Structures are given as structure tokens and as C-alpha cells.
Structure 1
Amino acid sequence: MPRPDKHVFVCTQARPQGHPRGSCTASGCADVMNEFMNQIQARNLFEKIGLTNTGCMGPCMLGPSVLVYPEGIMYGKVTKADVTTIIDQHLLGGTPVESLIAPAEVW
């Protein structure tokens, strides 16, 4: 398998309901992860985009969190509807989605 141009990490951390830090699972990360998988498959982007689910990446209050390498850009409060924009604008187009970037004090 060739090395992808971009690698996307989606936090899928699950914590018990009521945990003070919350979790990306409670914020809908499964929908985000599934949408990335579905679009990568439907658009045959396997060689361009790597996708990995992860545990906690830190900013739980901004979940679901998505981290894109090699740039090291973290997106917060990502929804299923945001996935197309992230793929088109950032992963394929090279321009990060400014409105979704986590604040500098977080990442």
C-alpha cells in the first residue's frame, strides 16, 4: 500500500455518561468516522487519504476531534456534514477549513 498524502485521525474515545471531561463518542464521533470511511471508499481515495480511529487526543470539550497530518491541524466539533468540506477543501485541495480549526490555546 502506498504512503497516503494525508492521514486523518478521528477521536473515538468513550467515557461513562456524566464523566467531567465528556467524550467524543457522546458528541457523535461514530457518525464522523463512518462518513470519512464511506466517502474515502465511494471516492476511491484509499491511496491519498489514510484514516485511523484514536483514543483521547486532549480537547474533549471540542469533540468530535479530527487531526490531519502531515500538517498537524486539529479540527473540533466536527459533524458528519463537515466531512465533505474537510475532504474537498483540505485533504484534496490543500486549504485547511478555518472555521473548524481548534483554538491555538487547545492545539
Structure 2
Amino acid sequence: MPKPSKHVFVCTQSRPPGHPRGSCGQQGSTAVFQTFMQQFDQGQLYGQFALTGSGCLGTCDFGPTVLVYPEGVMYTKVKPEDVPVIIEQHLKGGEPVESLLAPAAVWS
């Protein structure tokens, strides 16, 4: 298996309805993850990039969240239609998608 240049983590955490923190799963992260999988399959991106569904990334109020390493770039409120932009602009082009970046406060 070739070493991927970037690794994408999509929070797929689901909590019970009414949980005070909510969850990315309740906010549509499954559709975001599935869109990444479809785009990776269609573009034959596995091997160049890695994709993993993850547990909680800690930013439940801003979900669905996507984290890209090695840069440590976090995207918030990601929708399925944002996935192609993240792939083209960030994964392939090396430029984070400014409009989807997590607020600086999530890192403090």
C-alpha cells in the first residue's frame, strides 16, 4: 500500500437523540462520509489519500466536521456538496477551503 499524502477523517459520531452535545451523525455526517467514499472511488484517489470515519473530534456544535492531516486543517458544517471542493482545492491543490475552516476558537 502506498503512503498517502493526506489523511481525511470524517466524524461519524452518533449520540442518542436529545443528548446535550448533539453529534455530527445527527447533523448529516454519514452523507458527507459517503460522498467522500464515492468521490475517492470515482477519482481513484485511494492510495494517494486516505479516508477514515472517526469518532468524536470534539467540535460537536460545528458538525459535521472533517479533519485533514498532516496539516491539521479542520472543516466545520461540511455538507456533501462541499466534498468535491475539499478534494480539488485542498487534497489535490494544497490550498485549504477558507469558507469551511473551523473557527479559531475550536483550537483553544
Q: Smaller-chain TM-score range?
A: over 0.9
Could you tell me which residue of structure 1 aligns to residue 96 of structure 2? 96
Q: Which residue of 1 aligns with 2:25?
A: 25
Instruction: Give unmatched runs, 5+ long, in structure 2.
Output: none
Unaligned runs of 5+ in 1: none
**Aligned residue in 2 for 1:58:** 58
Q: CA deviation at 1:47?
A: 1.6
When normalised by structure 1's length, the TM-score is 0.98
User: How far apart, in 1, do the equivalents of 2:25 and 2:39 lie?
Assistant: 20
Q: Which amino acid aligns with 2:103?
A: P
| Residue number in structure 1 paired with 2:48 | 48
Aligned amino acid, residue 13 of structure 1: Q
Structure with greater helix percent: 2
Partner Cα distance (1:98, 1:74) in 2: 10
Percent identical across equivalent pairs? 60
User: Any idea what SS the aligned residue of 2:47 has?
Assistant: coil
TM-score normalised to the size of structure 2?
A: 0.97
Helix, strand or coil for the counterpart of 1:106? helix
Q: In 2, distance between residues paired with 1:49 and 1:18? A: 35
Quote the Cα distance in structure 2 between the aligned partners of 1:95 and 1:70: 13
Distance 2:44 2:3 in 1: 15
Whole-Å Cα distance in 1 between the matches of residues 98 and 61 of structure 2?
A: 18
Please give the alpha-carbon distance, in whole angstroms, between the structure 2 residues aligned to 1:48 and 1:75: 20
Deviation at 1:48, TM superposition (A): 1.2
Alignment-mate amino acid for residue 63 of structure 2: G
Q: Say yes or no: does 1:69 pair with 2:69.
A: yes
Instruction: Return structure 1 stretches of 4+ with deviation > 6 angstroms.
Output: none
